[in-house]
Amino acid sequence: MNKAETNQNILIENISRKEKLERNEIEFLLSLSEKDDINQLSQLANEEKSKHVQNITYFRGLLEFSNHCEKNCFYCGIRKGNQHINRYQLSREEIIQAAEFAWKSRYGSIVLQSGELSDAKSVNFICDILQEIRQKTNGELGITLSCGEHTKENYQRFFEAGAHRYLLRIETTDRELYYKIHPKNALHNFENRLNCLYLLKECGYQVGTGVMVGLPGQTISSLAGDLLFFRDFDVDMVGLGPYIEHSQTPLFKMAQPELSREQRFHLTLNMISVLRLMMKNINIAAATALQAIDLMGREKALKAGANIIMPNITPKKYRGDYLLYEDKPCIDEDAEECKDCLDWRIRMIGDEIGYGKWGDSQHFDKRINP
């Protein structure tokens, strides 16, 4: 190791151990691109993970219960305007069956995710399935909801029906970039999406948000702004992953990302590591999209500070129709195969699995009981 390398290592370590990171320090860490530097940052974040949330990975069985969506986000494969996919909606029975699978497999929690539909029938359906899942699993399954923007009244109804965590990615906190990747209309309003995060907090949810990394036109400064927003908003959970092109979307046709997929992958790992250094006791998901780029993507994220993984429990026959992005992994496996595969993958990296536990955000507990 030469002298310059040693100085760089010392700098990375000193910054990483600081109590509160400044914007320029965040930008410095995010910009690290040499393999050894990325690994060092990853290890430092992993140390903080061990100290504050232990080396335990919690499972959230991901059930993509409907791909109907009234929105037209420019990057997403299931946007309303994509007429090349079969639209589906799982029946109540299929949803309950999947939830019972997760419960019996001792996953601890599930995430119910879908496109965004705000009509009364869809909202009532979500309330009904939440209640039924609670009842059929003796209230033992933690439930996260991720079905987009709703009114406060609807968020409250979902909460009362049994959802206690909500995931709504802000996608980017850079307003200008937000409007480059969404149509500019009332359905895709940045302020409204932001406001939804505040409404979710008011309703009592553990609130999760996140961004896509490596979007066309996104800068390191913009990503640093995202991390600062997570800290200022005092978020409980974060799910962030690389942007991956989908050829049937307007964004694919409009602009290509400046970064290669590999660069987006490494930048995502850096985002996770820096976030763990900044917010030591939140839950951070190892996004499935990472695995679309690197077969060991999620495991690498767990080694870089993430502590949540979302095994897919959507029935196999629907998986090919929930392609938010291309090259989505595990679309040919059923839930049982995913379970066994993940079990050994996680043990291999030295983490324990929090079987049968909700694995709530410790940050949330401290937030409500300071």
Q: Site residues (CB under 6 A) for ligand SF4?
A: 69, 71, 73, 76, 78-79, 115-116, 148
Euclidean distance between CA atoms 255 and 77, whole angstroms: 16
Amino acid at 56: I
Please report how close the Cβ of residue 81 comes to ligand SF4 at its closest, in angstroms: 9
338 touches, from ligand SAH, ligand SF4, none (C-beta below 5 to 8 Å by class): none
What are 232's two structure tokens? 């200022």
Interface with ligand SAH (CB under 6 A), residue total 19
Indicate the residue among 119 and 232 with the shorter CB distance to ligand SF4. Answer: 119
Nearer to ligand SF4, 32 or 73 (CB): 73
**Nearer Cβ to ligand SAH (49/328):** 328
- Quick one: 67 exposed, middle or buried, by C-beta within 10 A (0-12, 13-18, 19+)? buried
Our finding on whether 246 is near ligand SAH (CB under 6 A) is: yes
| Smaller CB separation from ligand SF4, 117 or 293 | 117
Q: For the window 104-123, what string marks contact with ligand SAH as x by the rule CB under 6 A?
A: ---------x-xx-------
Q: Which does 297 bind (CB under 5 to 8 A by kind): ligand SAH, ligand SF4, none?
A: none
Return the SS3 of 1: coil
The DSSP call for residue 187 is G
- Shorter beta-carbon distance to ligand SF4: residue 207 or 212: 212
Q: Does 298 bind ligand SAH (CB under 6 A)?
A: no
323 lies in the site for ligand SAH, by CB under 6 A: no
CA-closest candidate to residue 270, choices 10, 16, 84: 16
Asked if residues 252 and 245 have their Cβ atoms less than 8 Å apart, the reply is yes
Tokens of 47: 């140390």
**Tokens 């195969």 label which residue?**
337
Does 148 engage in binding with ligand SAH (CB under 6 A)? yes
When asked if residue 169 is in the footprint of ligand SAH (CB under 6 A), the reply is yes
With CB under 5 to 8 Å by kind, the binding choice for 79 among ligand SAH, ligand SF4, none is ligand SF4
Written as six digits, the tokens of 315 are 């029935």
CB-CB contact of 74 with 181 (8 Å): yes
Cβ-based neighbours of 45, under 8 Å, separated by 6 or more: 16, 272, 273, 274, 276, 277, 304, 305
If binding is defined by CB under 6 A, does position 325 make contact with ligand SAH?
yes
Q: Would you give the DSSP letter of residue 284?
A: E
Q: Are 75 and 177 in contact (CB under 8 A)?
A: no
Q: How many residues does the chain have?
A: 370
Question: With respect to ligand SAH, which residue has the nearer C-beta, 172 or 281?
Answer: 172
- Beta-carbon neighbour count of residue 300 at 10 Å? 23
Minimum gap (Å) between residue 34 Cβ and ligand SAH? 26
Answer with the entry of ligand SF4, ligand SAH, none that 246 interacts with (C-beta below 5 to 8 A by kind).
ligand SAH
With CA atoms as reference, report the closest residue to 14 among 50, 41, 34: 41
| CB nearer to ligand SAH: pick between 21 and 238 | 238
Given ligand SF4, ligand SAH, none, residue 113, with its beta carbon under 5 to 8 Å by kind, binds ligand SAH
What SS3 class is residue 162? coil
Identity of residue 57: T
Give which of ligand SF4, ligand SAH, none residue 243 binds (C-beta under 5 to 8 Å, depending on kind).
ligand SAH
Check residue 322 for interaction with ligand SAH (CB under 6 A): no
* Cα distances (Å, whole numbers) of residue 195 to 38, 199, 200, 279: 34, 6, 9, 22
Q: From the list 37, 48, 171, 174, which residue makes contact with ligand SAH (rule: CB under 6 A)?
A: 171
Interacting residues toward ligand SAH by CB under 6 A: 75-76, 113, 115-116, 146-148, 168-169, 171, 212, 241, 243-244, 246, 289, 324-325
